[in-house]
Structure 1
């Protein structure tokens, strides 16, 4: 009998099986690295202003 194979299965390693093809900072992502929180907030505020002006 193969005692090594007996017992409960091993838990996962808690990591993805593959890397995403469009991960932030990779060569395939045309927009480059992830933006900072300040840049994101500025972009969101500008979009809200533009939407408010259109209405």
Structure 2
């Protein structure tokens, strides 16, 4: 497939669809959801260390 014929908007749509797929590796969450959960855990842990909550 010649990707020069695919628009950036189409590539963005493909990336979005792939990132929204549920994955067994992430406990049947989408990779976007898994990333948000991981960032929230990191922020909570970091705040705990900074403020000794």
Task: Report the TM-score, using the length of structure 2 for normalisation.
Answer: 0.37
Highest CA radius of gyration, 1 or 2?
1
Which structure ranks higher in relative contact order (CA pairs < 8 Å, sequence separation ≥ 6)?
2
Greater percentage in helix: 2
Higher strand share: 2
The TM-score normalised by the length of structure 1 is 0.36
